[in-house]
Amino acid sequence: MKLCGCRLSDYHFEYTECDVLGSRWRVAVPNKADTCTGLPDPVKGTQCTFSCNEGEYLDMQSQQCQKCAAGTYSLGTSVAFDEWDSLPSGFVTHGVITNEGYDQTDCSNSTWTPKGDYIASNTDECTATLSYAVNLKQPGTLSFEYFYPDNSIYFEFFVQNDQCQSTDSNSRWMRISENSWSKYTVELNKGNNVLYWRTIAYSLQSSAVKPVLLRNIQISGVAYTSECFHCKPGTHSANPGSARCTPCPADTYSNKGATTCRECEEDKYAVIGSASCKPRPACTSSDYFYTHTPCDSEGKTQLMYKWIEPKICTETVEGALKLPASGERQTCPPCNPGFFVSNSSSCEPCPSGSFSNGTVCTECPAGTEPVVGFEYKWWNTMPANMKSSVFSQVFSDSDRRTAWEVAGEYIYTTPGDQDTDYLMLTLSVPGYRLPQSMVKDAERSELSRITFVFETICTADCELYFLAVRMWNNDVVERWNGRNHKQSYSYLIQSNSTVSFTWTFKRTEEYGMGRNRNFTRNYSADVAKIYSIVITNAIGGVATKCRRCALTSVKAGSACVLCPPGHYMVNGTGACQKCPPNTFIRTDQPVGEAACIRCGPNTKTNKAYTACLSDCMLDVRTSKGGRLHYDFSPLANVTSVHSSPRFTNKGLRYFHRFNLGLCGTEGRMPASCVDNVTESGREVKGYVCQSTVVPSDIRSQSLITSCCQGAVNRNRARPSTCLESASDSFVEKQQPSFCTNRCHIQSCRQSDSREIVFKPSDRLSYFLFLHSNCSEGTCDGCTFHFLWQSQHACPLCTKNHYREIVSACIQGIQRTTYVWQHPVQCYGGQPLPAQKVSACVTLDFWLKFGVSTGAVAAVLLISLICYFWKKTRKLQYKYSRLMMTSGGRECELPTADSCAIMEGEDAEDDLMDLTKKSFFTKIKSFSREVKEDSDDEIEQITLPRHRGSVQM
């Protein structure tokens, strides 16, 4: 029989295997053997690395990439499996018995089962394996979504390559899903890859085990795709060149390969991604739910009714219920214990260190600690650490809906889209910690306990699960089936690894198959209620009461309410006692009188009574009874000094760096050293700290520092500063003053010390040096020496450090100048007084003034002598005349008719005569008259006596 020539429909094109040069040929392959002749000749194909983009396919006729038509899609170099009505081509599943000792067990039906939008694992004791082999022309990736809610099944995924080498066993076990689909991505190598999904159930009750679900498996790195795939029913692609299809919105549907979605009729409905519409049932009480609004400023809440979304029922048919009216105002329930009502009428947690019964926060008294935890018994709003979610085995947008709603006195499950939805309520807990008063008996004390009161009202095979969620798995602590009356359940928490708890409610175990699943809500009235939840010793919780602290010790970070600053707790009573003046409280042991640590010399306690600080001022008494004042404020900033380079036995260069913070008051920055070698990033702070520095370019860092030790932690027993002591030898011997700083180093038998020597300098800047005899700062590993050269090592200047110089009086001006004593032994302090200028009087002036005054006084004195002498002479003369005229009779006065001249007559003659003579002539006459008068007087005196004698 003669064969006809081949037509285009009788054959298809394929590529040959790639050669060593990465080339290949396109050849024609008949669809059926011996049906036609004249196949096209082989032609040069595209390079093996050639691929098309998403939304395109390779047209083998033209060997060019073409866009996919509307209603179809392409992933380019990827393949995707999102339809599971049947097992896709290339997938293989089989079941085997786990324990080979039971040969009679038949596991042939224990396989992965397609469920329409996903594929589900087995739930019995057999091992079910799902595998898929793929050849990648280039490195690619695999991604898939899974739901793994039950740890009664071991679920693993691994990949084997050409050499049957599997992936790392540590990463092959899948992580438990909390409340939604989880996505897993893994890198695939070029060549053959075999993908395995394996489940192993170990529960004796297979009906109680929830299967593992898989969907949306996508693999990239395949050679090419020569055709586009039609959109599955319920999805569509409106534009050419689509990489994926879009699900149809609610109340619309589509067939396979659709470009648009069709609207449902008014009396029908469709959920998202539906392939057909269904008649709307009459609305019942199972189609809506109620909730409460947050409290308003008046302390009122409103009762609100809402349809379950998406709404599938109708209100227009006979017998349908209407949505009840919303807005009824009710009194808000009280706040839960540990909370209080804020100004906005919302419940806020009480501050740390206080407790409440739901009304007003009260501070815990000193010597007690708050008993923290969570106690929820009123449900007006969902607590901040609780989350409600819906997990649907069909839809990816299920997290947009609410699973549990508040109802004042309880929280309950709302009706879902399907009766098979998982309605989840998760309570997150950061961790657990025993109260300080119970740490001593930690072995006999329970770490934490969770207690809740619940109720289930069911007409079908509903289930309520209580799960303790740990880091990598979920433990089903307890489950309840069917109807359960109101009851309480407690669970003891023994490990800090339990990070959250989940309550999951499911109305029925009936599964729908494929896209013909039943969306009716037959059991929407089935409900689970939780009335109260109490969890103790929860970190980040609130307090409902306070407990007496353990007074033997209070560790740092304890919740025990300490005494006010400057007080300590009295052992056995918890009462607060004030510490002596100038002491601070040890934060690691604030109990007992030993907690009061006295500050070192020249230091004062800070405002918080947690450390002793220096104000950088120092007073020192000298041997001569004087005092020196020092001010180290300019040296208060943190200063660094490093040793000379050192080398290890292998030649590694390193050096030591010391950071010093000499003094400072409140808010000062202490010296700090940071360890950047380890991930901990340990930091040491104090007055002095030491680091070992290794120059390096590792991690793009110029230095690698290893912090090894620090000096004078603020909580040490004696937190003195470098201003603790100083000698007066500087004044006497011009030697630097010394001061010592001590701290404890475990490597030393005795206390480690830092000795800082201050040396005066006339430089404006200051320098810090290590001891010249100890290049690393220490000779014995315990005593470190530093030399600090600075002007501020000198005492502050006072008036005793300068003297004054007074100049001579020049032209009535005198200057007083002040100069420093030499050598200068001070810095700063009292400045040198400015020069003083004052007025003065010279010696020549006083000499002239004295001579002039003396001459005037002499002339005046002579004049007075002459005046009184003349007056005396006249009186003598008058007396002589009187005596002469008395006639020798005693006691008789002369009569008026005397022959003597009248009084004043001779005087006038004399005056007249004097006025006619010169000054010297008058003196001469005056002398003569005096002599004559003297002679006359003598004569007058002797004559009467003579006369008397004669008469006798």
Tell me the pLDDT tens digit for each residue of 37-60. 778 888 888 877 777 888 888 888
* Span 451-509, pLDDT tens digits: 999 999 998 889 999 988 876 566 788 989 999 999 999 999 888 877 789 999 988 87
When pLDDT is cut at 50, 70 and 90, the band that residue 733 belongs to is very low
Structural tokens at position 9: 């429909």
- The single-letter DSSP state of residue 89 is T
For 250-282, b/e burial (b = at least 16 CB within 10 A) is bbbbbbebbbebeebeeebbbbbbbbebbebbe
When pLDDT is cut at 50, 70 and 90, the band that residue 70 belongs to is very high
Q: How far is CA 313 from the centre of its chain?
A: 53
- pLDDT on residue 903: 47
Instruction: Say if CB 527 and CB 412 are below 8 A apart.
Output: yes
Round to whole Å and give the CA distance between 57 and 445: 68
Round to whole Å and give the CA distance between 158 and 148: 16
Instruction: Say if CB 413 and CB 524 are below 8 A apart.
Output: no
CA dihedral 553→556→562→568, nearest 10 degrees, is 50
Instruction: Say if CB 806 and CB 793 are below 8 A apart.
Output: no
Among the ranges given (536-545, 617-626, 756-765), the one the predictor scored with the smallest mean pLDDT? 756-765
Q: Nearest Cα to 197, choosing from 150, 142, 271?
A: 142
Round to whole Å and give the CA distance between 168 and 161: 12
| Residue that the structure tokens 């004390």 belong to | 445
Round to whole Å and give the CA distance between 257 and 245: 9
pLDDT at 318 over 90: no
Q: Residue ranges of the alpha helices (H) in 547-590? A: none
- pLDDT on residue 844: 65
For 578-609, b/e burial (b = at least 16 CB within 10 A) is ebeeebbbbbebbbbeebbbebbebbebbeeb
* Span 402-447, pLDDT tens digits: 789 998 889 999 877 678 888 889 999 988 888 766 655 556 678 8
* Span 562-611, pLDDT tens digits: 777 888 877 656 678 888 888 887 766 666 777 788 887 778 888 878 77
- pLDDT on residue 630: 85
Round to whole Å and give the CA distance between 416 and 461: 16
Structural tokens at position 469: 């969620």
When pLDDT is cut at 50, 70 and 90, the band that residue 781 belongs to is low
Round to whole Å and give the CA distance between 113 and 119: 5
Among the ranges given (480-489, 762-771, 815-824, 871-880), the one the predictor scored with the smallest mean pLDDT? 762-771
pTM greater than 0.85: no
Instruction: Say if CB 259 and CB 86 are below 8 A apart.
Output: no
- pLDDT on residue 527: 92
Q: Nearest Cα to 541, choosing from 653, 674, 374, 671?
A: 374
- pLDDT on residue 208: 65
For 192-229, b/e burial (b = at least 16 CB within 10 A) is ebbbbbbbbbebeeeebbbbbbbbbbbbbbbbbbeebb
Higher per-residue pLDDT: 38 or 162 = 38
- pLDDT on residue 761: 55
- pLDDT on residue 931: 55
| Residue that the structure tokens 């064969």 belong to | 3
Strands 339-341 vs 347-349: parallel, antiparallel or unpaired: antiparallel
* Span 799-854, pLDDT tens digits: 888 888 888 887 778 888 988 888 888 888 888 888 888 887 666 666 777 888 88
Mean pLDDT of the chain: 76
* Span 372-400, pLDDT tens digits: 999 999 998 889 899 988 877 554 444 45
The percent of residues above 90 in pLDDT, for the chain, comes to 12
Q: How far is CA 640 from CA 392, 661, 703, in A?
A: 63, 9, 15
Q: Residue ranges of the alpha helices (H) in 700-767? A: 729-733
* CATH 2.60.120.430 matches 366-510+524-545: yes
Instruction: Say if CB 120 and CB 146 are below 8 A apart.
Output: no
- pLDDT on residue 328: 85
Q: How many CB atoms lie within 10 A of CB 475?
A: 13
CATH number assigned to the domain covering 617-695+734-793: 2.70.130
- pLDDT on residue 780: 63
Round to whole Å and give the CA distance between 260 and 544: 60
The SS3 of residue 876 is helix
- The single-letter DSSP state of residue 151 is T
Higher per-residue pLDDT: 215 or 558 = 215
Question: Which long-range contacts does 577-585 make (Cβ < 8 Å, 24+ apart)?
Answer: 579/609, 582/612, 583/609, 584/609, 584/610, 584/611, 584/612, 584/719, 585/609, 585/610
Strands laid side by side in the 422-428 sheet:
386-391, 422-428, 500-506, 463-469, 474-481
Q: Nearest Cα to 687, choosing from 703, 706, 709?
A: 709
Contacts of 172 (CB under 8 A, 6+ apart): 156, 157, 158, 166
Q: Nearest Cα to 792, choosing from 629, 670, 620, 671?
A: 629
Q: Do domains 78-222 and 617-695+734-793 have the same CATH topology?
A: no
Q: Nearest Cα to 812, choosing from 838, 840, 837, 836?
A: 840
For 759-794, b/e burial (b = at least 16 CB within 10 A) is bbbeeeebebebbeeeeebbeeeebbbbbbbbbbbb
- pLDDT on residue 112: 92
Higher per-residue pLDDT: 264 or 619 = 264
Question: Which long-range contacts does 250-259 make (Cβ < 8 Å, 24+ apart)?
Answer: 250/310, 251/277, 251/310, 253/277, 256/230, 256/231, 256/232, 257/71, 257/72, 257/230, 257/231, 258/71, 258/231, 258/233, 259/70, 259/71
The SS3 of residue 364 is coil
* Span 495-535, pLDDT tens digits: 887 778 999 998 887 644 344 444 557 788 889 999 999 99
Domain definitions of the chain by residue range? 78-222, 366-510+524-545, 617-695+734-793, 802-839
Instruction: Tell me the sheet residues that pair with 456.
Output: 484, 528
Q: How many CB atoms lie within 10 A of CB 740?
A: 15
- The secondary structure of 765-807 as a DSSP string is S-EEEE-TT-TTSBSSSSEEEEEEEEGGGSPPB-GGGEEEEEP
Q: How many CB atoms lie within 10 A of CB 474?
A: 22
Instruction: Say if CB 44 and CB 15 are below 8 A apart.
Output: no
Contacts of 306 (CB under 8 A, 6+ apart): 288, 289, 290, 291, 323
Q: How far is CA 636 from CA 490, 642, 826, in A?
A: 59, 18, 19
pLDDT at 100 over 60: no
Mean pLDDT, to the nearest integer, of 319-329?
87
Q: What angle do CA 230, 231, 233 make, to 5 degrees?
A: 120
The SS3 of residue 924 is helix
- pLDDT on residue 553: 54
Backbone angles phi, psi at 215, to 5 degrees: -160, 170
Instruction: Say if CB 708 and CB 690 are below 8 A apart.
Output: yes
- pLDDT on residue 914: 42
- pLDDT on residue 775: 61
Structural tokens at position 328: 């009824």
- pLDDT on residue 518: 47
Q: What angle do CA 769, 772, 776 make, to 5 degrees?
A: 75
Q: How far is CA 373 from CA 447, 448, 534, 542, 543, in A?
A: 12, 9, 8, 5, 6
Instruction: Tell me the sheet residues that pair with 288.
Output: 307
Mean pLDDT, to the nearest integer, of 340-369?
85
For the chain, state the CA radius of gyration.
59
Instruction: Say if CB 131 and CB 196 are below 8 A apart.
Output: yes
pLDDT at 752 over 80: no
Q: Counting Cβ atoms within 10 Å, is residue 470 exposed (0-12), middle (13-18) or buried (19+)?
A: middle
pLDDT at 751 over 60: no
The SS3 of residue 672 is strand
Round to whole Å and give the CA distance between 575 and 563: 8
Q: Nearest Cα to 656, choosing from 694, 688, 683, 685?
A: 694
CATH class as words, domain 78-222: mainly beta
